[in-house]
Amino acid sequence: MLALRLAQIARTYLPVAIFTATALYFIFHLVTGERGLLAFMAIKRELNDATVILADLEVEKVALERDVELLNDTPIDIDMLEERARIELGYVREDEMIILHKEDD
DSSP letters spanning 21-74: HHHHHHHHHHHHSTTSHHHHHHHHHHHHHHHHHHHHHHHHHHHHHHHHHHHHSS
Helix axes 78-89, 37-72, angle to 10 degrees: 120
Name the maximum alpha-carbon separation found in the chain: 110
Percent of the chain with pLDDT over 90: 46
Give the pLDDT mean for 21-35: 94
pTM: 0.53
pLDDT in tens, 57-70: 999 999 999 888 87
pLDDT in tens, 30-78: 999 899 999 999 999 999 999 999 999 999 999 999 888 877 766 777 7
Pairwise pLDDT comparison (96 vs 34), residue with the higher score:
34
